[in-house]
Structure 1
């Protein structure tokens, strides 16, 4: 087949590779194993794993790869597929152990995916198994069924908390400008009242300062005059009832 390469062994030892097409093979001497070098292969890794905050989480991950060196794929290790599966499980457990359960189940999917792919590539590189990683997909992460209900409640509580925070921030953004305007208005009114009060007080001081020499010269007459002026001001704004004795 066009997507396959033939790995020829002679008396059980690697001899050479053959391309698709007609090839001569000595009977009982050579053996040929066909290896597909174009198809995308997949393997899945899953299990219950321990997080950094000592919780357990069930994780599923899918790895896609392609054979790029048929000889190394067949002979570098006993089984390249099994070795890759074990390396994937090891890399995934190592990465999961670095993060909290909350982050794994929420916003940490992207970083866990990239960390796992990097760890996996570093793990298999020394073995040179003739395969190339194409992609690592983080399928699912969920708490074990025994604690799923409690964790769902915790997630819902956190979402409600975030909603309340957003609503409070929106209310603050709405109220703050209005409160600032009211505060500025009150401040301006207070300043105006202060100015008016000071001016009135200064006027009273000036009036009494003007009367003082008169009072010193004729206390009784000045006192009587001030009394009469005051009564005139008071009575001018009230109803008057005259009684005939």
Structure 2
């Protein structure tokens, strides 16, 4: 089982990179399942209904998210009705949506679990305890469990990776938009990376226009970020999973650049 796991899709450049390169990447890697974090796709803030449908039509099997998922009001009804669209499972009730899904991928069932960190972020419910509850339920249906942990703090991400090791196939970090070079297989068989990176503009400040980011830093004024209009890249990881055990066999990060 080959899983292609993509970093946060950031604005129009990120979507353009998907349209330009995803089909080729799927063919080259022979990916069985494709998962992308879509929470920044709508100009950096949330996900539109139109983009959600376009991503599914491209062949993305599940869309994960994070703290920006609530920013496009038109999407909120779909958090309940579209099972392939996830919000972090540890948001407290009665928020709409669901935090995990079991996909039927050919002869295999693949579970996807979306969680959000609390360190340097909103103090929502505990991702460790909520993750336990979901993994207990999901593991009764499949051994293949993929976790997107949308979090800021490396310590929290690494701790959750080791905490879930042996119970999930992989824990991939999202949110920072900066791909880390620490991909590895943990002692009990889970693949791990602190952050898979970003699908978005290369010459940017985590996707944003550098000029605005500089002005915000110097002036300390709450200037609105805008997505940089530069050629994009695709970033993520390819994880090979043994379907019989649910353990990861390998994890490889990648970056693909585009000139338009």
User: Which of the five TM-score ranges fits, normalised by the shorter chain?
Assistant: under 0.3
Structure in which a larger fraction of residues adopt helix: 1
Calculate the TM-score normalised by the size of structure 2.
0.19
Q: Which has the higher contact order (CA 8 A, sep 6+)?
A: 2
